[in-house]
Amino acid sequence: MPTRRHRTIAVALAGALLAAIPMPSAAARPAPAGPSTISFSGMTWEVKAYNRKIGPGPNFFAAENVSVDPSGRLHLRISQSGRKWTVAEVIGRESLGYGTYTWRLAAVPELDPNVVLGLFTWNDAPDFAHREIDIELAKWGNAADPTNAQYVVQPWDAPDHDLRWTLPPIQGSTIHSFTWAAGRVDFRSTTGGGDLLTAWSYVGADVPEPGGENPRMNLWLYRGSAPQDGQPVEIVIESFSHTAP
């Protein structure tokens, strides 16, 4: 059996060997991953992040493209690192069901034709077309399209399930909402001061029933294609709210 003296010498030698091994500097260590969740408008939201392309798009989703500023506003970004473009999405942890979903946006810049802003509900299960109800700002890659926004009750390609419209350049905030009830969805967009921009209603068999869907927000690239102008994009969402019926 080794004596206490032998064990002491062995420990000392092990310590000396460890000290001789060069440790990476702080600059060389991998940066910590971005946050898995954020708090915004009184709710917890999961931040979507993948190192492989997934839908929508498909795109690379990066946690660093999501942040909440000191005023409590949500920032969603599309950014470039080398030749790789990454996008943003957050997913509410709560399933809210029927009621009025309202987003208040800071002044929206003119979006590149390949950029899509989505304000919507979604369930990964396929029932009721994933329970997807959408407010989207997008030209879907078509720079010549005079419209740049739409309301949709999925499936989008069924007759009378969407309205294409034009959000004009507005310096201040805009408010976008839909009220989801049994058998109908009523959409509405106004200026921050309450002046009506557009409203539309869908009444039909494809209004989904509630069940496990979550509110979501994303900023992504159509077909995963880089912005046509080659510039990064940032959208600021001032608030989100849900009012139960």
Domains and CATH numbers, the chain: 28-243 (2.60.120.200)
pTM of the model: 0.85
pLDDT tens for each residue of 137-195:
999 999 999 999 999 999 999 999 999 999 999 999 999 999 999 999 999 999 999 99
Q: How many CB atoms neighbour CB 121 within 10 A?
A: 23
Interatomic CA distance for residues 80 and 76, integer angstroms: 14
**Cα gap 149→164, rounded to integer Å:** 6
CA angle, residues 79, 80, 83, in degrees to nearest 5: 155
How confident is the model over 83-134, as pLDDT tens digits?
A: 999 999 999 999 999 999 999 999 999 999 999 999 999 999 999 999 999 9
